[in-house]
Structure formats: C-alpha cells, structure tokens
C-alpha cells in the first residue's frame, strides 16, 4: 500500500469516526515526513480536540521543535509529562521526560 493509499484510507476513517483520536493521530504520523505543515495542523487539532490522547504529545512536541516553534514544543512536552503522570503511564512519562531533557539541552533552554 502506497503512502497515498494509506492517506486516502486514513482520511476515510477520520470521516467515518471523527471522534476516534487514533485516526487523526495515524494521519498526522503519515504526513510527518511528506507534509510537515499538514501534520502540524493535525497535531494541533488532536491537542485541542483530544487533549487526553497521550500518544500525540511525543511526536507533536518533536515536530513543533523541528519547525522552530520551540516555546510551543516546550509546552507540549510539559503537558504530555503531566498527562502521563496523571494517567499513571510510567513508561510514557519517562520517554517524554528523557526527550524533554534532550530537547532543552539541544536548544540551550531551561
């Protein structure tokens, strides 16, 4: 299945089940390499419409950092870490904290 076919299929899923955050997440991930702007807007939608969908935070924070929106990336990391703690998802919390520390170090932030 080509990237285009997957995108078409995922778009269909978002139309059939707009309330399922996984469909939007999968679409955002699919666009991450080929169309960062589209991925950006899909992640923004997920963060706004489905703030408790933990999987969004890691790739969204990285994408925001890659496109230079460091402040927003920092906020996303922090919200993701707090959400993982709230959901008692230790593995996700540790992954986010490690990535956040690397992000702060690489961008000379504190």
pLDDT for the residue numbered 21: 97
Q: Which long-range CB contacts under 8 A does 74-83 form with residues at least 24 apart?
A: 74/100, 74/103, 74/104, 74/109, 76/47, 77/103, 79/47, 79/51, 80/54, 80/56, 83/51, 83/52, 83/54, 83/57
Please answer whether residues 24 and 11 qualify as being in contact, where contact means their C-beta atoms are separated by less than 8 angstroms.
no
pLDDT for the residue numbered 109: 85
57 burial type by CB count under 10 A (0-12 exposed, 13-18 middle, 19+ buried): buried
Report pLDDT digits (tens) over 57-101: 999 999 999 999 999 999 999 999 999 999 999 999 999 999 999
Which position has the higher pLDDT, 95 or 1?
A: 95
Whether the pTM exceeds 0.75: the reply is: yes
């Amino acid at each position: 299945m080509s990237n285009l076919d997957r995108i078409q299929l995922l778009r269909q899923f978002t139309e059939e089940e707009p309330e399922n955050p996984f469909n939007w997440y999968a679409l955002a991930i699919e666009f991450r390499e080929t169309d960062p702007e589209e991925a950006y807007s899909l992640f923004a939608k997920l963060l706004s419409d489905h703030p408790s969908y933990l999987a969004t935070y890691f790739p969204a924070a990285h994408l925001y950092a890659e496109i230079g929106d460091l402040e927003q990336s920092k906020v996303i990391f922090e919200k993701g870490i707090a959400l993982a703690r709230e959901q008692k998802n230790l593995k996700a919390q540790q992954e986010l904290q490690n990535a956040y520390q690397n992000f702060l170090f690489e961008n000379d932030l504190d």
